[in-house]
Structure 1
Amino acid sequence: MRFLFCIIAFLVIGEAIERPTFEDFAAGYERNKASMFNYEGMPAFALSENLLAVLKQPNTKLNKYVKYDPFLNLYLVRTDFSLIPAPMGDEEKLTRNDWVGIWDPDKPYIGHIKYLAQNINERDQLDFNTKIGLLGTPCCEMLGIALNNGSFIGNRYLKHFMKYNDVYWGDIGVDFVERENKFYVNKVRKNGQFLINDEVISVDGVPIKDLRKLNEKILFADPSSTLYFEVLRDNVDLNISTQVFAKDISKFNLPNTKPKPKPTNFRSNLGLSVNSSLVVTKVDPKSKADLAGFMVGDKILRVNNIILKDFKNLQTILANGNDFNILIQRKSSKLPLHNFDNGLIGDIDAGGDGNFQFFIRLKK
């Protein structure tokens, strides 16, 4: 009888958290609707005042973004406008009895967290039908991004996702497995310090009681940081320190999202190299530019009476013409002028700053 009473008491306590109403989550939507919107045809969610998580959809892609993470299927976008993110809660602190839901103004999506993924190749799971949206509590705290297959991406992954401009997840080259509530090395991919069947006792002095937390300790570790493992090998305690490196994602063939650096110089096939300030940086010996009289340090001002803005203008003009009258500026230290009395020099104008301007004729 006493045993039965204990069971009933346990069930009563387990059901003590009252189920929230649809109106609770509709209110959450109204309060946080500015943090979720459509971005170039894809669902997007504010993570901070200028960082956006955009869920990639089939046959779509963004042209401008910080990175695309293939594990999360998310783009990270830095916006030039201010965002209003929802306050982030801690999904790890919730129990199986805590209610969660997807904020929606029209339909209830309410239930519980069923399972937190043990590694990056899995997804956190919910025990109710879902849609793409923000997963949150009745108190309006965001817990992650809900997907339409009963899973979600928890905040702990999103916080790591927005921490780096490149796709980075920590690795030590070792995979673990749980057997009879103990944790063992299951595979050694790239680490000479561990052996298969080493039992992991603690990491950084914290006893290991959960495979998920062991894996995430490594996944979320900073690049090149050091983790300290206590392991049991053949009944002998060992201390192993190992450095964290980036997980290999080469199999995904990700596009390079970094903007290409702007060119800083231009070289003409006439033997003339010019930097972004339109200053001559090189003259090829015996080239047409050399024979015409160009020198390193000359600044090109105009070509055929066209004032140049950058070397792209110069590049276009030289590509589309054959005969060029080029106004240059040269320091007086590069003279005397008798070196240029071959008839190629036109009007010479000496300024008060020790620079001279004159024309050089250049032909293809």
Structure 2
Amino acid sequence: MRNKRWVGLWFLLVSTTHAYDFSHCQKYYELASRSNSVSLFWQKGQVSFLHSTTPPKGVRILKKDPFIGFYLIQAPHTKFAYHLLDISPEAFKYPMASVSKTYARVGTITKRQERFLGHARFSVPIAPNGVVGNICYQIYGVGFKSKDPHAFIESKYIRRFLSQNTPYYGDIGVRVRSHGALVVELVDPFFKNNPFLEGDVITHINGQAIPNSARFEWVVSNLAYQSEAHVTIKRKGVSQTLHVRVDKRHGGFLLPDTFLERFGVVLDSDLVITARLEHLPAPLNTLRVGDQLVWINHKPIAPKRANHADKLRALQEALSHARMQGRIELLLLRRGLEFYIRL
């Protein structure tokens, strides 16, 4: 009944003033948010959602997706909350607004979200945890702290997060780039029975055309775990279909992605192992906390002065390229002693 009264007021203001006035939605926002989160209706209840690129401090985390920085936190229920709506052509028939505690500004969606980290954009700024909508209690997305004040997260991606018990992103063992076509750039050497080669061109997955990396990201991320994916590729101009058992991603997006994450390997800025799973298959069980990764196939992994992110990227590239060479010989430094292991 409360929400019905708010939408009734919305239509009343439209009809009496012949213009859309979203100022009353600020009051609704104050009653449907807290300083660090926004309240959403979900499964006949209410949840407190926030976005953060690092784990939020000073709150109890109930659910998390560190791949893309989504969190549900424990918080007292607010008087009101929001229903999530997917953006459809119908949404563009009515004016929209960016709403927060301090303002309600009319605008329009200028860019749809195409990737998990490639967010949508609104024509006017959106405050962190501000909302975008055209009715007070229904929203198309949520703002977040970003270098781009116009960026927001579409409800489609929030709904995906809410519907999962644990974060899941399907993986078929490759990293790709759009270069006129969708090209396999890197191949995971630890992905079981990986049939891909660097340079393969992916055209279809399970009969769906895959024109670019954004479409690849969404389709692959939503493939069912351990299902068989039928991937059509062109290799040296010849079409063929590969059959791949879908795995899950262990790194990527906001998390490190070197291909070693499936083994729980964490590396510092000097490529020194700071953590690993207790039980690893041979020969990876040779790895120890404190070991430094130095060379792969007799080549330095990265320049010593490179930053942490660049070193991790260089390691991922080196592992993929070594796999293409048919061997991975890893030089480790342990307590001043250098030695090779073959993976």
Distance 2:75 2:220 in 1: 30
Where does residue 206 of structure 1 map in the other structure? 208
> What's the secondary structure of 2:71's corresponding residue?
strand
Structure 1 residues 173 and 21, CA, compared in 2 at 3 Å: closer, same or farther? Answer: farther
Structure 1 residue runs of 5 or longer lacking an equivalent are 1-19, 255-364
- One-letter amino acid of the counterpart of residue 222, structure 2: F
What is the alpha-carbon distance in structure 1 between the residues aligned to residue 213 and residue 93 of structure 2? 22
- Aligned partner of 1:216 in structure 2 is 218
Q: How many residues align?
A: 230
1:22 Cα deviation after fit = 5.8
CA contact (8 A) 1:100 1:111 kept: yes
CA 1:97 to 1:187, structure 2 compared with 1: closer, same or farther past 3 Å? Answer: farther
Please report how far the alpha carbon of residue 232 of structure 1 lies from its aligned counterpart in structure 2 after TM superposition: 1.8
When residues 103 and 94 of structure 1 are mapped into structure 2, their CA distance, relative to the original with a 3 A threshold, is same
Question: 2: CA distance between counterparts of 1:71 and 1:115?
Answer: 22
Provide the rounded CA distance (Å) in 2 between the counterparts of 1:107 and 1:231.
50
Deviation, 1:92, is 6.5
Separation of aligned partners in 1, 2:116 and 2:61: 22
Q: Cα distance, 1:106 vs. partner?
A: 5.0
Task: Look up the match of 1:46.
Answer: 40
TM-score, normalised via structure 2 length: 0.55
Q: CA deviation at 1:142?
A: 1.4
Whether contact under 8 Å (2:171, 2:247) holds in the other structure is yes
Q: Which residue of 2 aligns with 1:183?
A: 182
CA contact (8 A) 1:160 1:220 kept: no
Question: Bigger radius of gyration, 1 or 2?
Answer: 1
Structure 1 pair 59–225 and aligned structure 2 pair: CA distance change class (3 A) = closer
Task: Name the SS for the 2:156 alignment partner.
Answer: helix
- Aligned partner of 1:245 among 247, 253, 258: 247
Structure of higher RCO (CA pairs closer than 8 Å, 6+ residues apart): 2
Report sequence identity in percent. Answer: 15
Q: What's the secondary structure of 1:162's corresponding residue?
A: helix
CA 1:61–1:208 in structure 2 vs 1: closer, same or farther (change >3 Å)?
Answer: same
Distance verdict in 2 for CA 1:22–1:107, change over 3 Å: farther
Which structure 2 residues correspond to residues 60-209 of structure 1 after superposition, within 5 A?
61-77=57-73, 85-91=81-87, 100-104=96-100, 107-140=103-136, 141-148=138-145, 149-180=149-180, 182-190=181-189, 191=191, 192-209=194-211
Query: C-alpha displacement at 1:198, in angstroms?
Result: 1.9
Contact in 1 for aligned 2:98/2:107 (Cα 8 Å):
no
Distance 1:236 1:91, change over 3 A: same
**1:12 matched to which residue of 2?**
none
Shift of 1:131: 0.7
Asked whether the equivalents of residues 42 and 57 of structure 1 are also in contact (C-alpha less than 8 Å), the reply is no
Deviation at 1:85, TM superposition (A): 4.4
Pair 1:110–1:209, CA change in 2 (3 A): farther
1:106/1:53 CA distance change after superposition, 3 Å: closer
